[in-house]
Amino acid sequence: MDRSHPTASHRRSHRALALAAVLALAPLPVLAGTPGDPLEKLNRATYAFNDALDRMLARPAAKAYVKVVPAPIRKGVSNFVANLTYPEVVVNDALQGKFKDAGSDFMRLLINTTVGIGGLGDPATRWGFQSHDEDFGQTLGHWGVKPGPYLVIPVLGPSDFRDAPAKLVDAYGDAYTYLKSTNARYGLYLLTQFNRRVDLLAADTALRNAFDPYVFVRNAYVARRNYLVHDGNVPEDNFDDPVSAVTPATAPDAPDPALGEATPAPSPALATAAANPEAVPAPAAAPAPDAAGTSAPAPSEL
């Protein structure tokens, strides 16, 4: 299955829409102590910290940015940020043996950096070079490394024992890593994380309507990563994560499905919807009760 996206600048916003689609279409029960989340108590504490930080700083700043800055400028910034991190896509294409994709992504990087004036524009898409979404966590998964337990990282958000250390490797593929100026390096890093939070504003409403935002974010993350690792070809009986494999019957005191508070784990079809949000209708509000005082997670790689 082709996982190409229309433009590199839309990769992060697709993730936000993917999260919203999963939250609306696949509400899951609150599972305590699931096999795939043995660190749930610690993860929930970290999630609460991230959520508080997000409500105080990141979300208000992102909303103000969207309100004040015109859409064409925001799109240029998003293109620029995507171009900064795009070398990691080219490298991981090659590491997975996807040399045709690596060639296409290298041409995108070259064209958008030069003709696109440092990545502010995206002429590569108009010229027929499709974008892809690869990282070192996907590369490890491609070669058989399992994700391991779910893990919430302070500030950065959802991850797992495979993807967390892989982020350090991916950092060497980001262009700003090689800048001599420390201020410029950290400034561009913060801009990258802030742009991701802006893209995640699209998921805020669905997340606020979630019965348990922590569980929704966890399962949305796990389902999407599984989809990406398998290039969209996820067999019915081959979900990597033990979290989504747990059904309500295996969890103590699980909500009664008759009350509309629990459904089976997400199917590959929902994972497909998560990675291709344009193929599904706009998500409706989740049927579960509103979780008062909750908001979107801190900036994360969903």
Do 19 and 220 contact (CB within 8 A), yes or no?
yes
Can you give the pLDDT at residue 191? 95
Please compute Rg for the chain using Cα positions: 19
Task: Please give the Cα distance from 57 to 55 (Å, whole number).
Answer: 6
Which residues are bridge partners to 159 per DSSP? 151
CB-hemisphere CA count at 13 Å for 93?
20
Position of tokens 């989740």?
Answer: 286
Q: Tell me the three state secondary structure of residue 77.
A: helix
- Tens digits of per-residue pLDDT, 119-151? 999 999 999 998 999 999 999 999 999 999 999
Q: Tell me the three state secondary structure of residue 294.
A: coil
- Tens digits of per-residue pLDDT, 167-205? 999 999 898 889 999 999 999 999 999 999 999 998 888
Q: CB atoms < 10 A from the CB of 162, how many?
A: 21
If you write DSSP's letter for every residue of 125-174 in order, what string do you get?
HHTT--B----HHHHHHHTT----SEEEETTTEEEETTHHHHHHHHHTTS
Cβ burial, residue 213 (10 Å; 0-12/13-18/19+): buried
Can you give the pLDDT at residue 36? 77
Q: Tell me the three state secondary structure of residue 87.
A: helix
The first and second tokens of residue 283, run together, are: 């998500």
Can you give the pLDDT at residue 237? 58
- Using 50, 70 and 90 to split pLDDT, how confident is the model at 211? very high
- Using 50, 70 and 90 to split pLDDT, how confident is the model at 233? confident
CA–CA–CA angle 103, 164, 17 (5° rounding): 65
Residue 197 backbone phi and psi in degrees, to 5 = -65, -35
If you write DSSP's letter for every residue of 220-250 in order, what string do you get?
HHHHHHHHHHTTT---TT--S-HHHH--GGG
Q: What is the residue type of 160? A: D
Crossing angle, helix 71-85 and helix 87-95, to 10 degrees? Answer: 40
CA torsion sign, 183 to 191 to 135 to 91?
Answer: negative
Task: Please give the Cα distance from 155 to 100 (Å, whole number).
Answer: 35
Crossing angle, helix 40-53 and helix 213-229, to 10 degrees? Answer: 100
- Using 50, 70 and 90 to split pLDDT, how confident is the model at 23? very low
Query: Cα(first)–Cα(last) distance of the chain, in Å?
Result: 20
- Tens digits of per-residue pLDDT, 53-75? 999 999 999 999 999 999 999 99
Longest CA pairwise span in the chain (Å): 59
The residue length of the chain stands at: 302
- Render the burial of 4-39: b for 16+ CB within 10 Å, e for the rest: ebebbbbbbbbbbbbbbbbbbbbbbbbbeebebbee
